[in-house]
Structure 1
């Protein structure tokens, strides 16, 4: 048994340690201002965290445990019980909502100002993850007498609050009253800190029950909290920093800064308040290093204590994890081990696994502990086993790696989804927002957010602006309208305004930087600049390579023949261009097209000279292939003497933050900004040796058919992904064969043309089709934006609300699982992951894909767990309905990591039926959908 006062004091004691050892200087400063002066924020935070469970001092909660209820009644505190069990269930009233009502009443009785009462009670009422409305707090009709009961309940409830208040150093309750109402974003951060303190103080391994009132004291709670904190190994980031000098860049990255990197750091120095930096520079310019250098300046100037680096995909997050650790190692070697990698497949990142091993963990047994999403809402079952020597742990504290807590780690690299989840109306969203507050947020490849994802990005930027979180956005090719929307949303949040029209200044030149912040009187302030690129403009020959595109009524045989002809054309081209050796990158817009091209090229060049990379390999195989491709085509790639060749066939995985350098690129047509991104993988590094015939960069564009006197036709996959409007407009800027694009100088003009309103962009014979496509796209964009709004954290028109009350009321919740969250923020049908296992030839027992035996029921020996989990593959969304019917193998039920995993059982030939589809898994091709009769 644990007395309620014991838990309240324990939670307050944990909050004090969070203030001392975890919170960013900017957060402490903000709370001091709210509390009324320097040094007053710490006891206020401890009080807010401690009071969270005061609603348990009610019959509504005390009646739930019969043995404890008897003790309470014996002390003279009574209540009326419902007459029937069914009535008891209907009469149950949440203690968090009861606590919100109690706090509201008692603070009002203590003569707190109404505005201060209004923001405090939602922190109590919402500490289980969702903020109710004031109407929700009312005592339900069937729960009459469950708040105050009969007898001396009001005195007891007042005593609980008074004792907590006095223990924390306040003479009386009225003395706790803050002096300033915090912004809604700071309230959200405080709510997350309350939840964090509650979860830590609720861990029975570190806070054993106290059942004697005489044993209670704040000093005792502080000793328990101190011991728990040491075992958990929790810590903040780098603490207070001095503004780095000009020499810091070379110290961190081992080279002198380029002109564009100096420009970015200077913009960070000139900002008058926390704000947003938008960095636009060509591929290979060094935007990442510039952003990290600017992060140091922003953190030192504005009191941030860590960084979140968000990338567009899991594949791009992995190399950024390495780069961020290298940067922090140069800043302070003790920090590199504290970087958390945050995405669903991090257990298969070899560097992450080594980090856990060095930290004293068994990464095989840790897979489930790092699952950020699949642990439900239970805050206690999600905690992994605590290391015995946490004080010496050279890895992020395990507590940060439980469900929904990842962003609370001081240094985080992950997908941009992690930030987008913080803008959804989901349970415990305050933990995610608390993790972002107090950091510098860096987002790379922001142009990759489409109109649907952008709704969540813009919502997140509003909250970050109000929270005074410095944000650095990176892009090689950012359309002007998108830049304006991003900056405006951040400044609207900073000004706490629903509508905040601003004129974002433009600047000529490229690379360029745009900095925006609020000055005195909430007036927008800007600093814009441009610089020369580190290398001269490079003329890239853009050569159309049209193919026959079958019409919508084409038979499967006709479609296959067209695809085969297109692959043969690419094969003929590469045989000619790579006759003297060299490397080529082929990017297809769909997995099926990539697999088809790979098979053609493999038949010509052989296994050693062709690689395939896409998202439908198992996670383990994809990780291996990504590492191999980066090694073979990365900045320090091995020299290819003689006529050595290498061809990488890939999907959009190779489009962003994928540091490979090819001599030649063949790509399906895509919107111009993405074409330019892909072009950034060609001749990326100036010092790479290349064959004579490939010393001039060339880009071959395929995936479309030229039609006389009308607009071109596009392959189905490309049109489905990108829409006809942008494909038409991009086709309109493709130069005639043998002409050039100038990179990087011509990049801004190309992007502005395609994303602008230039009526003359399309040839006359295309314009009717172009106008129709533009209208269709506008309608589709509007529908997608509206469909995103049902999941947004804040409804339109409510951004100026002063408190968190009712934040979760109405609308749709995105849910808590990774699949549902990702589907919510990426506008996709909920896709399903399955684990591939095979039956032996006799069909009696199961095997791993590598042929290692499982039992007849699928029992997994501990040494095989990594191998089995590594066989996970995400199915295309069109298979979701059939895949949801899949279940774990019999022996997996109840297993901590496999119990919720669906198994797709392959036969001896690695084939399986899923609904009406025939699937096959191949180590070279990945998951394939086979045509009927093949």
Structure 2
């Protein structure tokens, strides 16, 4: 905008005010800054697939799309030229009154101002101008104007619009000043139409019907542009130093911001084996597994990138296959990044390390900087990510353009993770501006928990930003079988939006039920359940299996060849008695060997470990479960990998691509005899290998996952390096009373999984447990067992029928209630093109995002309490727990001052999720009250962000505490034990 061409009255309208300095920013200036930023975001930061999505909806294609985005960003604060906004600062309001813009005082306006928030006011003013001055039909104006109405995170709803329509005095003061207000508002609208280049296009746009996904990404782009243009460090209210032109002002801000580039990959076109050697450092002479090669060929053959579901056994390299497909999909679609969604923080941390390794090998254009993020609440405690945060630090402030690179086209090079060959690898940065709950997902490459994806289906403030973040990426969903009905309700809705955005998606699973495969495909394509043409997706019985779907294309089914990796597992039911199990393991391990015992509850883990230690000694029994503080949990995982991981250099890799060598090196760290007793933490993402497995009865897919830790790697020809008795893979199944008809699972297992899933699992495994010694063949039997267990048909002996039908009825009732609960705050499906976003987030959860409240909405589980564990020393002062390694143990935590950053961070690392005992309705309030007794006022400040707002559990010098009527004992070898007070 050119101020000289604006009316004098218009130039008095204000947008920003600094109460400390009395500096202010004219409204026209902020509008011009926002438009300029939007143009730079469009040209230099927005992935090309998002730009193409918008362009496809407009008659002038890409040119129209850029103009529309810039214009909407420029006009977003139009509603500040109203009495309801302008009255807030008396000196600035007086300036406006002096030129005829009369308005009541803020005190006189009172609470009525809330009826006219400036976003909604701007929406109605723009709609009025389009209809009256530009001749648009009223029904066409809302789809554009709602972008302005929602630029503070939530589009207005119909009630808000009606309420403001009834109060025109909030938009223009009645009387003699009303025409002056109208002139100012029209002046801004007319000037914007000229300055932002849309004047000649408005007539053609009035017949456009914008799809809702386009409205969402435009809304998000306007929000980002507004946030950047509102940063006074980038766009100061007053000129500092020499006078700058508008172009210099914007260039200085853009250079100071230094946003990293989007990923712009070229499609890898060479042979598949060359691609895998280049990206994943395959050993010399090794070739990709058949599943991996088939996935790449299918990605290249699809008419357009869409949804690919990769189902293959554990250890077949699904992760690497997904990354290879993601690179191809990104190149073909124009995606600018990748998001890898995993079940837990631990699996996200592991994936982040692998993601960085992959990124280091990606070829990119010279000098490219790519933004990366670890997306979960404890990301800053991850060493790889915190290292990137330190190396990537930069001030966010406008820079002097007199130095090198004064065109503002980029940022100076900064230290990062990338190697020294800029032609071969990008500089990876954890960008300072792209931090926090709202903006983090806008980074190009993200590894995080599945919650970060499911939140895209939760009606919450600034949801458009999360949609923009996903719309510009390839999305990979790992362990797709691991989510329940409640989470799947959100996942399916998110997939429907991803399909509408044309976002490529890769889904990974070793044990995916056929009906879930079909539901995922139908959700993505946007067809109703049971749609014609999707029967083959559900009916196929091949395995491994690749399924590909895309809007407008028939599903494609590919059955890759088997890799040759094969194990036969002999199953045997055993009584659920720790003493009998100890006797049996003494017998089985008489000649040495390593056994894994998997229990479904931590209490059963600890009970079993105690019985086994009485027979084997403490040094031959290791415990692993989720009731350890985070550093101890990480140390446990590292220890398991070091001692029970694959031979050679494959250790630490789940789905590893290194190839087993029957004559390879013997793993010297593997103990001659040992028993690991673990909970579900060993089911996934730990590449551990045992000679014998004992497992509680669990849903069949989880039993199969646990079997994937049995004889996982070749140890000598024909497993000759294993003890002779254990060269045949065997799995002992406990956790049930096998003599009853049907078997009766133990109570803890029923509480976690439900009787229905456990009885279906027992029924499909019955042929292998009835004494005939028919082995389970991996991978051949994985798919048949899973599909039979999750199909609707009756299974099992006739004597089991009535109890199983009762369990099924209870299960169906529970699932229906879960689905209904998920509907409460779940985002609706994308509506017809042209339907405005008005009311899009009505009756939502508010400002949730990655908070406890937000995550509780997308996971249907009992509320769990997470605490930070500290220790009280003999003198009564607090300190970090004394057993921490690396100099972090025993650091003082003063209660009358802010602790040192090192001490606070060490304490924050010691997170522990309390067990179910403290989540029950009768105990949770008391537990919270007891924990809040440890509240430290001095820690509740910004400078102590590691500890502020956290619940603190204080252990004494013997690592004990009392909480809500329970005694707690903690051991770095046993974890947390819970005993009821006598």
> Is the 8 Å Cα contact of residues 601 and 748 (structure 2) preserved in structure 1?
yes
Counterpart residue number, 1:252: 279
The 10-residue stretch of structure 1 (916-925 or 878-887) with the greater mean CA deviation from structure 2: 878-887
The 1-side partners of 2:927 and 2:642 are apart by 35
* Structure 1 equivalent of residue 91 of structure 2: 67
Task: Give 1:475-494 correspondences, 5 Å limit.
Answer: 475-492=509-526
Paired residues of 2:599 and 2:679 also in contact (CA < 8 A): yes
What is the distance in 1 between the residues matched to 2:615 and 2:167? 77
Distance 1:67 1:283 in 2: 69
After TM superposition, the structure 1 = structure 2 runs for residues 58-97 of structure 1, keeping only pairs within 5 Å, are: 58-81=82-105, 87-88=110-111, 93-97=116-120
The 8 Å contact of residues 455 and 849 in structure 2, kept in 1 or not, is answered as: no
Shift of 1:533: 1.5
Q: Is the 8 A contact 2:589 2:673 kept in 1?
A: yes
Displacement of 1:686 after TM fit? 2.7
Deviation for aligned residue 1:406: 2.1
Per the TM alignment, residue 650 of structure 1 is displaced from its structure 2 partner at its CA by: 2.1
1:659 aligns with: 687
Q: Give the direction of change, closer, same or farther, for the CA distance of 1:917–1:390 in structure 2 (3 Å limit).
A: farther
Please list every run of 5 or more consecutive structure 1 residues that lacks an aligned counterpart in the other structure. Answer: 363-386, 548-565
Asked if 1:234 is matched to 2:244, the reply is no
Would you say 1:918 and 2:943 are equivalent positions? Answer: no
1:116-135 to 2 correspondences below 5 Å: 116-135=140-159
Determine the C-alpha separation between the residues in 2 that align with 1:204 and 1:569: 71
How far off its partner does 1:71 sit? 2.1
* 8 Å contact from structure 1 (residues 615, 653) kept in 2: yes
CA positional deviation for 1:788: 0.7
Aligned residue for 1:864? 903
After TM superposition, give the deviation of residue 800 of structure 1 in Å.
7.9
Compute the displacement of 1:142 (Å): 9.2
Separation of aligned partners in 2, 1:405 and 1:499: 38
Counterpart check, 1:533 vs 2:559: no
CA 62–396 in structure 1, closer or farther in 2 if over 3 Å, else same: same
Aligned match of 2:545 = 512
Q: CA RMSD in A?
A: 2.9
TM alignment of 1:627-646, pairs within 5 A: 627-635=638-646, 636=650, 639-640=667-668, 644-646=672-674
The match for 1:187 is 215
Select the residue among 624, 628, 649 that pairs with 2:677: 649
Paired position in structure 2 for 1:328:
359
TM-score by length of 2: 0.84
CA gap of 1:207–1:501, structure 2 versus 1, over 3 A, is farther
- Tell me the SS of whatever aligns to 1:404: helix
Distance 1:745 1:217 in 2: 70
Instruction: Say whether residues 1:460 and 2:514 are aligned partners.
Output: no
The equivalent residue for 1:165 is 193
Deviation string for 1:335-356 (max 9, x for gaps)?
A: 8974321112223323223333
1:208 Cα deviation (Å)? 0.6
Shift of the alpha carbon at 1:824?
1.1
* C-alpha distance in structure 2 between counterparts of 1:721 and 1:361, whole Å: 47
| Distance change in 2, residues 1:757/1:801 (3 Å) | farther
Deviations 1:835-875 (A, max 9, x none): 22222234355554533332254741222122111122122
Tell me, yes or no, if the aligned pair for 1:96 and 1:125 is still in contact at 8 Å: yes
Deviations 1:543-564 (A, max 9, x none): 21221xxxxxxxxxxxxxxxxx
Query: Residue 26 of structure 1 is aligned with which of 2, 27, 49?
Result: 49
With over 3 angstroms needed to count, the CA separation of the structure-2 counterparts of 1:245 and 1:168, relative to structure 1, is farther
Which position in structure 2 is the counterpart of 1:824? 857
Indicate the larger mover: 464-473 or 826-835: 826-835
User: How far 1:744 moved relative to its partner?
Assistant: 0.5
DSSP-derived class of the 1:422 partner: helix
| Partner SS state of residue 309, structure 2 | strand
Match of 1:380 in 2: none
In 2, Cα distance between the equivalents of 1:156 and 1:716? 72
**Partner Cα separation in structure 2 for residue 870 and residue 211 of structure 1:** 44
SS at match of 2:503: coil
- In the alignment, the residues of structure 1 paired with residue 36 and residue 640 of structure 2 have an alpha-carbon distance, to the nearest angstrom, of 50
Q: Is 1:611 equivalent to 2:644 in the alignment?
A: no
Cα distance in structure 2, aligned partners of 1:758 and 1:581: 44
Q: Is the 8 A contact 1:82 1:91 kept in 2?
A: no
The aligned counterpart of 1:276 is 307
Tell me the secondary structure at the aligned position of residue 56 of structure 2: helix
Q: Using the alignment, how far apart are the partners of 2:894 and 2:257 within structure 1?
A: 42
Alignment of 1:171-210 (within 5 A): 171=199, 174=202, 177=205, 180-210=208-238
Tell whether the 8 Å contact from 1:581 to 1:691 is kept in structure 2 after alignment: yes
CA deviation string 1:255-285 (max 9, x = no partner): 4222222221222122222321111111111
Cα separation, 2, equivalents of 1:846 and 1:868: 8
Seen in structure 2, the aligned counterparts of structure 1 residues 742 and 261 have a Cα distance that, compared at 3 Å, is: same
CA displacement at 1:919 relative to structure 2: 2.4
Of 725, 729, 734 in structure 2, the residue corresponding to residue 693 of structure 1 is: 725
- Residues 823 and 831 in structure 1, CA contact (< 8 A), matched pair in contact too: no
| Larger mean Cα displacement after TM superposition, 93-102 or 235-244 | 235-244
Correspondence list, 1:869-888, <5 A: 869-876=908-915, 877-878=919-920, 880-885=924-929, 886-887=931-932, 888=935
Q: Residue 597 and residue 517 in structure 1: after superposition, are their counterparts in 2 closer, same or farther (change >3 A)?
A: same
Instruction: Provide the C-alpha distance between the structure 2 equivalents of 1:388 and 1:252, rounded to a whole number of angstroms.
Output: 28
Task: Return the match for 1:889 from 929, 936, 942.
Answer: 936
Distance 1:207 1:774 in 2: 62
Contact 1:843 1:907 in 2 (8 A): no
Separation (CA, whole Å) in 2 of partners of 1:742 and 1:589: 24
Which residue number in structure 2 is paired with residue 563 of structure 1?
A: none
Q: Counterpart of 2:77?
A: 53
Q: What are the residue-to-residue correspondences of 1:108-507 with 2, within 5 Å?
A: 108-109=131-132, 110-114=134-138, 116-140=140-164, 144-150=168-174, 151=177, 152-171=180-199, 174=202, 177=205, 180-210=208-238, 218-230=246-258, 233-239=259-265, 241=267, 243=269, 245-246=271-272, 247-253=274-280, 254=282, 255-332=286-363, 338-360=371-393, 391-393=414-416, 394-492=428-526, 502-505=533-536, 506-507=539-540
- 2: distance between equivalents of 1:756 and 1:586? 29
Matched, 1:750 2:785: yes
> Is the CA contact 2:697–2:758 (under 8 Å) kept in the aligned structure 1?
yes
Distance 1:785 1:422 in 2: 17
The Cα shift of 1:569 comes to 3.0
| CA distance in structure 2 between the aligned counterparts of 1:44 and 1:141, rounded to whole angstroms | 26
Provide the secondary structure at the position in 2 that maps to 1:905: strand
Cα distance in 2, alignment partners of residues 19 and 139 from structure 1: 35
Contact 1:243 1:300 in 2 (8 A): no
CA distance in 1, matches of 2:675, 2:139: 65
Q: Distance in 2 between matches of 1:98 and 1:499?
A: 45
> Partner of 1:77: helix, strand, or coil?
coil
Name 1:809's counterpart in structure 2: 842
Matched, 1:703 2:735: yes
Q: Is 1:681 paired with 2:704? A: no
- CA positional deviation for 1:752: 1.4
Structure 1 residues 846 and 530: CA distance shift in structure 2, 3 A: closer
Residues 596-621 of structure 1, C-alpha deviations (whole Å, 9 max, x = no match)? 22333344444544332222222222
1:907: Cα distance to partner? Answer: 2.9
Taking structure 1 as the reference length, what is the TM-score of the superposition? Answer: 0.88
Kindly tell me: are residues 13 and 828 of structure 1, through their superposed partners in 2, closer, same or farther at Cα, counting changes over 3 Å?
A: same
Distance in 1 between residues matched to 2:394 and 2:221, nearest whole Å: 27
Alpha-carbon distance in structure 1 between the residues aligned to 2:911 and 2:778 = 40
SS at structure 1 position matched to 2:952: strand
Residues 371-397 of structure 1: per-residue CA shift (max 9 Å, x gap) = xxxxxxxxxxxxxxxx99675554221
Q: Distance in 1 between matches of 2:413 and 2:96?
A: 40
Cα deviation, 1:322-368, whole Å, max 9, x if unaligned, reads 22222222223788974321112223323223333443599xxxxxx
Alignment partners' CA distance in 1, 2:293 and 2:698: 33
